Amino acid sequence: YKEDDIVLFSCNFGFVPTGRISCQCKKNKWVVVRQGKCRPKPCELPDETANGHYSIHVGNDFVFGATIKYTCNDGYQMVSKMDIRTCMVAGWSNHLPICEVVSCVPEATDGRVVVSGLPDDDGVIQY
């Protein structure tokens, strides 16, 4: 680099700057011109799920890399495949989990269950 050249820094994936970060070449040394910092990218507050709640599973705040775990209220059961969501660069991973009321289904009288077709992702098989 030459005298007075300025280098701009960027943050690693999943992090955002709090101000501009740059250094300038002065007398063969780098001098900080603007001293910003990189912090984890925040996620919006996660959506609530009806008849359930979430708690932070990994991390301390709703920022990149944090994981939350959904739990259904008493009398409800999770019918989704995933109960965990992670704060990613584009927002929360996975679909919002679904909690449905626990109900007793009548037992099959002929001793077998017949399923036609396969459910979509997060689908529920009822028998």
All structural domains of the chain: 6-40 (no CATH), 52-101 (2.10.70.10)
Please, what are the averages of pLDDT over each run of 10 residues along the chain (127 residues)? 91 93 92 89 95 95 97 95 96 96 73 64 61
Give the pLDDT confidence score for residue 36 in this predicted structure.
Answer: 87
User: What is the rounded distance in angstroms from the CA atom of residue 45 to the CA atom of residue 92?
Assistant: 9
Q: Which is nearest to 63 in space by CA: 86, 43, 44, 92?
A: 43
Q: Which residues contact 67 (CB under 8 A, 6 or more apart)?
A: 56, 57, 58, 59, 84, 85, 86, 87
In this prediction the pTM is 0.69
